[in-house]
Amino acid sequence: MEKLKILITWWLGYIWSHTAVEFIQAWYDVIIVDNLSNSHMWVLDNIKKLVWKKIKFYENDIRNYNALEKIFIENPDIDWVIHFAAKKAVWESCQDPFLYYENNISWTINLIENMLNHNIKNIVFSSTAVVYDALKLIPPFSENDRLNTTNPYGTTKLTMEYLLKDMSTHKNFNSVILRYFNPIWAHESGLIWENPKWIPSNLVPFIYKVANQEIEKLQIRWDDYNTEDGTGVRDYIHVVDVAQAHLSAYDHIKQYIKSQEVAEEQKWLYDYFNIGTWNGKTVKEMIEIASKVTEKDIPYEVAPRRSWDVDVLIANPLKAKQVLNREPQKTVFQAMEDGRNFINKHKETLEDSPQNITK
């Protein structure tokens, strides 16, 4: 009988929680581990409202090798891992590169070593668009374009991609890498959303904070980029589309394993996919969309450019469509509407939030 038990690392966070919901609703048994350093325990309660299913949760830090090993010992039927655990704020990684190298890479090494020791060799890994050489490439970026990073966060993700490639080549791991572009906003239920403990590092949450008058004005990081209106262009994709891409990646590995049982050829898989839309929006365009959705003015000011920012970051997602049979089902406008509906539903809670401060 096929095993359907999956370990998800750091799943009470943003993309992670949405992905867990998709897998649980598809009748997989999910075991989750999170150290709650940048997420909230009540997310688990909200997920239970969506799925009505018992969920096994471990509050552990996967930098602790022995604590992680105990999870694998107590759950010998784990056969798959979806690895999200990583610090991900670009600005923070530039301020403290060592923190990102120490955390992101050590987390992954501990996880991979435990997987190897327990003969678990199937993994879907959360990577990022910032592994591409965005300073020299002409967008949209394809999976086989040149890789080169502009910040420590991206470098740690690229390092982990190389680690998984080596594990596939030399230890017969089946690894699928998903390079996200810019996931945005909330589950349509309004129960899970982007809600870190600390200051959010992404554009869209700040746009809505300004719309709600929690922050006086938005800061646009310079307006002289080589784009239509001078502001940076990004490929925004609904977070639920990103979450569902993990199901497709999981199915890709399953199909590969079945094909090897028949063909008896190559014994491992290493593959990678862009998860984006092929359609970029400038910062000003996102402000305009949010203004239409919320029917509110969103004032902004121009702030200094940051060293790691690039003009355009857009995906060519054709490979995901062809191989994973996966393409976005929701528009940017729908994502912004889900954000508005979430804000309206939780307005009083958000007004009391400790993250209600200016970036």
| Structural domains for the chain | 5-351 (3.40.50.720)
Just list the catalytic residues.
Answer: 153
Looking at residue 314, its pLDDT comes to 97
Using one digit for the tens of pLDDT, what is the confidence trace for 293-320? 999 999 999 988 888 889 999 999 999 9
Q: Of 140, 139, 336, which is closest to residue 238 (Cα–Cα)?
A: 336
Q: Are 141 and 316 in contact (CB under 8 A)?
A: yes
Residue 313 CA to residue 78 CA, distance in Å, equals 36
Output the average pLDDT for the chain: 88
Looking at residue 160, its pLDDT comes to 97
Looking at residue 48, its pLDDT comes to 82
Angle at the Cα of 141 from the Cα atoms of 136 and 146, rounded to 5 degrees:
50
Report residue 201's pLDDT band, with 50, 70 and 90 as the boundaries. Answer: low
In the chain, count H helices and then E strands: 13, 14
On the question of pLDDT at 358 being above 80, the answer is: no
Q: Of 133, 160, 159, 152, which is closest to residue 94 (Cα–Cα)?
A: 152
More confident residue, 156 or 349: 156
Report residue 359's pLDDT band, with 50, 70 and 90 as the boundaries. Answer: very low
On the question of pLDDT at 323 being above 80, the answer is: yes
Looking at residue 105, its pLDDT comes to 94
Report residue 221's pLDDT band, with 50, 70 and 90 as the boundaries. Answer: confident
Looking at residue 186, its pLDDT comes to 82
Using one digit for the tens of pLDDT, what is the confidence trace for 110-152? 999 999 999 999 999 999 999 999 999 999 999 999 999 999 9
Using one digit for the tens of pLDDT, what is the confidence trace for 58-110? 988 888 899 999 999 999 999 999 998 888 889 899 999 999 999 999 989 99
Residue 245 CA to residue 237 CA, distance in Å, equals 11
Looking at residue 209, its pLDDT comes to 83
Give me the residue label for tokens 């969920």.
55
On the question of pLDDT at 52 being above 90, the answer is: no
Using one digit for the tens of pLDDT, what is the confidence trace for 26-39? 989 999 888 877 66
Using one digit for the tens of pLDDT, what is the confidence trace for 229-277? 999 999 999 999 999 999 999 999 999 999 987 776 668 999 999 999 9
